[in-house]
Amino acid sequence: MKNQIHQATLSERAIPGGREITLEFRTRDVPSVPATLLLPGTAPAPGVLLIHGYSSRKEHMAENVGRVFLGHGLASLAIDLPLHGTRRDPVAQQALSNPLDLLRHWRLALKETRLAIHFLRARAEVDPARVAVVGYSLGSYLATMLAADEPSVQAVVVAAGGDLPTGIPFGTLARTVVDPLRAVRKLKGRPLLVIHGRRDRTVLPEQAQRLYDAALEPREIRWWDAGHYLPTPAIDHAAEWLSARLR
């Protein structure tokens, strides 16, 4: 990154398996991004960026996914996307019915996730050569797009996500900005794990299958007897899969 990354630490505490740091980071071009950083006791550790889904927040990813990853020796950084978590703005969210405004926020989210990867790699406790990204639902689209443009991302986990749904309004316009199928082809040998519920009605199983079919090897898809919210064994599997690939 050409711009220097500035960090403000808000709180820090010991937790089972390591440390939890609540912080914000920013550059001259990107406003403050709220984040939760989980660090294991051993360093430098592999690092994973966690990107939450629609209407969620960083705490959901840190507490439900990051804590499991911590037990496998993985550091993690969970961020609040624009208009989510501590950045929630009901007035601004109403404006997202305008497709141009929606695309503007999408571009901002992509810019911030890219900055997040650079911030994670810059931490002394994280091995910059071993970083990955995990995206859940809406976050999976961002994870795939981010990895396509950031060769430093060594592995990708798509959880309860996949290709864009068919027949959505402004679908052609949407694909000019976010096209998961085009993005996943650009991984070019970096491993991909897709985990999905067979009964998911938010992101349909066929969307996950389309993404998987478009990807190159190495790739893996795991199906779970679940809906849109994946069970703990799915998170355990993702942690073991990432640990093996970031070894």
Q: What is the pLDDT of residues 172-186, one digit of tens each?
A: 666 777 899 999 999
22 located within any domain: yes
> For the residues 155-176, what does the mean pLDDT come to?
82
Q: In which band, very low, low, confident or very high, does the pLDDT at 134 lie, cut at 50, 70 and 90?
A: very high
Q: Domain containing 54: what range?
A: 8-94+118-245
Please tell me the total count of domains within the chain: 1
Q: How far are the Cα atoms of 25, 82, 115, 118 from residue 4, in angstroms, in the given order?
A: 10, 21, 11, 10
Does residue 37 form part of some domain? yes
Ordered strands of the 153-159 beta sheet:
6-15, 18-26, 33-40, 75-79, 45-51, 126-136, 153-159, 192-197, 219-224
Q: For residue 106, is it within any domain? A: no
Question: Is 186 inside any structural domain?
Answer: yes
- Would the pLDDT of 237 be above 50? yes
Higher pLDDT, 95 or 87: 87
Residue 160 in domain: yes
Provide the pLDDT for residue 197: 98
For position 218, which CATH number holds? Answer: 3.40.50.1820
45-49, 106-110, 212-216: range with lowest mean pLDDT: 106-110
Residue 199 contacts residue 172 (beta carbons within 8 Å) = no
Give the range among 1-15, 56-70, 157-171 with minimum mean pLDDT: 157-171
8-state DSSP, 160: S
The reply to whether 230 falls in a domain is yes
Q: Distances in Å between the alpha carbon of 237 and those of 60, 72, 223?
A: 18, 11, 11
Neighbours of 8 (CB within 10 A): 11
Q: What's the whole-number mean pLDDT along residues 59-86?
A: 95
105 is a domain residue: no
Interval 185-198 mean pLDDT: 96
Of 57-61, 96-100, 156-160, the one with minimum mean pLDDT is 96-100
Question: Does some domain include residue 113?
Answer: no
For every residue of 25-41, DSSP letters joined together read EE-SSS--EEEEEEEES
Is 33:111 a contact under the CB 8 Å cutoff? no
pLDDT on residue 1: 44
Q: pLDDT for 21-70, tens place per residue?
A: 999 999 998 889 999 999 999 889 999 999 999 989 999 999 999 999 99
Structure confidence by residue, pLDDT tens digits, 114-133: 999 999 999 999 999 999 99
The pTM (predicted TM-score) of the whole model is 0.93
